[in-house]
Structure 1
Amino acid sequence: MKLTIKKKTNINKLLRKATFISIVILMIVVLVASNEITHYKVAITAQPLNGCLSTDSLPCTDTSKKTISEPFIPDTKLNKQQRFLSAIARKLPTVPQPGTYEYILLRNYGAVFVNQDVGIKLPQKDIFANEQETQEFQGSLTMGHVDGTKDCYLQKSAADALNKARVQQQIPLKSGYGSGDCTRTFNTNLRFWHKYANNQVLAKVQQGKETKVLGLVAPPGTSQHLWGLAIDLRVSNKEQRKALNQNGWFQTVQNDVPHWTYVGLSEEILPLFGFKKQVVQGFTYWITPL
């Protein structure tokens, strides 16, 4: 009787052991299969973008999910314009076509769309229609305070980079105090436009007949200041410029001397993204190649 009970106990142990081994094997099979599926999905997600970059024509729209966090480097086989467009195609759902008002704006104010800083947020288009659209976008931003100011705020990454530059050198705001130099409301942008231009000039800009004014003031709803990625500064020497450049800040709007844009790239890499160096009256601008 005792022997029979012992045999049953051994059999139960063996059964439990066999069940445990089967469960482990099943888990391994599931994990391997899951891992293969994940890699397959990643390969599919990356494929449309690779296709955009390999073409000799203008880059196509990237319809894949924008989850890529690694820094993007343009294909050096492309020309300057194509390299620039391949970078902004990752940021804009649809790249404006040549000859359109949106394309004119992109040419003048589109430098920020190559920014690789994962901490910033870019708009999905280069024109806000009204104050409500502007506020909705600005309400989604993570903002940072510019040290030594009362009410100057930028997107946090931009503010942090500017604060580092201002630790290296004293760099005052254009006005010396405030919000008009930093992130602006739609109505502030509109007020500045009416100070220097009018609706007739706007109509000419929209047709591409008057673009010099864009180096003086941005049309309503189009200013980089609305995106929290631009600031007006009083820069008077090379040391100040060097400190700003070292922290990703550049002059990108030709003839707008006090205007600085947070591009987030080093000066050495700007040509790789298609930017053209333009020196005008002693001021160095990095211009988009559009």
Structure 2
Amino acid sequence: MKITIRKKRNITRIIRKITFISIVILMIFTLVASNEINHNQLSITAQPLNRCLSTDSLPCTDSSQQTTLQPFIPNPELNDQQRFLSAIAKKLPTIPQPGTYEYILLRAYGAVFVNQDVGIKLPSKDIFANEQETQDFQATLTMSHVDGTNDCYLQKLAADAFTKARIQQKIPLKSGYGFGDCTRTFKTNLIFWHKYANDQILAKVQQGKEIKILGLVAPPGTSQHLWGLAIDLRISNQKQRKALNQNGWFQTVENDVPHWTYVGLPEDNLLLFGFKKKIVRGITYWITPL
């Protein structure tokens, strides 16, 4: 019996679908074997493919079901320090050795490295040597102007989160303008350091003999402000703090009262990521467990 041209086309279409789906399923099982996708995600992914068998449309796609990798969650069986380090290892290529100057800085300012949002850009180390290194990094950032300020710029997701907090509550910058309160240059960081400290104190910090100064001012090239993820504010009530916390902003540098860090995590997750909750003179700080 002769097969009509229409039937031939239908058979060809079915063969193309089966071939396409076979390739996709093979890719999915390869990911499962490499632990890059879990079995729950596999079942979700397979559903639209099964439905695809009953339709004549090509290519076979389903935009309503998209597979996404689950966000990183530290192993709760690890201790605080291990959970924190496992989280920042996703962002920081090399973890400094305990006792080094870099480790001291990571302990003081490393809270930002737990940020799991792919839209946030983090440096590959926690200290910039000079203005050029700082500018090279800042040139890679997606920055956004904070509404209602003169010259306050932050990484876009941090700026958006801060704007949401300001919609909930009136939250003024420390200076009231923006210069120095938000993203800073290496030169500005250096000016602040020389306002409160000097080279002799820096040498003591590098040796681990002086750490209290880190709650007042950051050494040259080490400020979270260089990364576009910190802001200095004038906070006067708990409603303002709550609005900031609800949008991923926390105080992470002990004794630096106006300083806020964009961590990007819900407050309920901070303990899971190893942070230590410490209340000093009525202010809640979330300290790294290093």
Match of residue 187 from structure 1: 187
| Cα shift at 1:131 | 1.1
Is the deviation greater in 16-25 or in 275-284?
16-25
- Note the alpha carbon deviations across 1:193-223, whole angstroms, 9 max, x for none: 1111112211211111111111111111111
Q: Deviations over 1:130-183 (max 9, x none)?
A: 111111111111111111101101011111111111111111111111120000
Q: CA deviation at 1:239?
A: 1.1
1:247 aligns with 2:256: no
> Partners in 2 of 1:93 and 1:220 — Cα distance?
22
- Partner of 1:95 in structure 2? 95
Q: Is the 8 A contact 1:153 1:179 kept in 2?
A: no
The equivalent residue for 2:79 is 79
RMSD across aligned positions (CA) = 2.3
After alignment, is 31-40 or 119-128 more displaced? 31-40
Asked if 1:36 corresponds to 2:26, the answer is: yes
Moved over 6 A (4+): 14-20
Partner Cα distance (2:8, 2:79) in 1: 64
- What secondary structure, in the 3-state scheme, does the structure 1 residue paired with 2:34 have? helix
Shift of 1:35: 3.7
SS in 2 for 1:234: coil
AA in 1 matched with 2:165: A
Q: CA deviation at 1:270?
A: 0.8
Give secondary structure in 2 for the equivalent of 1:272: coil
CA distance in 2, matches of 1:235, 1:220: 26
Query: CA–CA distance in 2 between the matches of 1:257 and 1:210?
Result: 19
Return the letter of the residue paired with 2:161. A
Shift of 1:247: 1.0
How do residues 24-173 of structure 1 correspond to structure 2 at under 5 angstroms? 25=15, 28-29=18-19, 31-33=21-23, 35-37=25-27, 39-41=29-31, 43-44=33-34, 46=36, 70-173=70-173
Whose helix fraction is larger, Structure 1's or Structure 2's?
1
Quickly say closer, same or farther: Cα 1:121–1:33, change in 2 above 3 A: same
Alignment-derived partner of residue 196 in structure 1: 196
Relative to structure 1, is the Cα distance of residues 155 and 21 closer, same or farther in structure 2, using a 3 angstrom cutoff?
Answer: same
Tell me the distance in 1 between the aligned counterparts of 2:149 and 2:204.
Answer: 37
Shift in Å at residue 117 of structure 1? 2.3
Q: Which residue type is aligned with residue 238 of structure 1?
A: Q
Question: 2:123 and 2:33 mapped to 1: Cα distance?
Answer: 27
TM-score normalised to the size of structure 1?
0.82
- Corresponding residue for residue 281 of structure 1: 281
Flag structure 2 segments of 5+ consecutive residues without an equivalent: 38-67
Residue 28 of structure 1 aligns with an amino acid whose one-letter code is I
1:243, 1:26 → 2: CA distance? Answer: 53
Look up the match of 2:50: none
- CA change 1:237–1:137 in 2 (3 A) is same
When the two structures are aligned, how many residues end up with a matched partner? 260
The separation in 1 between residues aligned to 2:90 and 2:172, in whole angstroms, is 34
State the alpha-carbon separation in 2 of the partners of residues 43 and 143 from structure 1.
39
User: What is the rounded CA distance, in whole Å, between the counterparts of 1:263 and 1:45 in structure 2?
Assistant: 27
SS at match of 2:244: helix
Identity value in percent: 73
Instruction: Quote the residue 2:217 is aligned against.
Output: 217
Amino acid at match of 1:233: L
What residue is the counterpart of 1:259 in the other structure? 259
TM-score of the two chains, using structure 2 as the length reference: 0.82
Distance 1:165 1:15, change over 3 A: closer
SS state at 2:271 partner: helix
Task: Render the CA deviation track for 1:214-265: whole Å, top value 9, x for unaligned.
Answer: 1111111111000000000000111111111111111000010000001111
Paired with 2:230 and 2:201, the residues of 1 have a C-alpha distance of: 24
Letter in 2 for 1:36: L
Q: 1:36 to 1:228 in 2, by over 3 A?
A: same
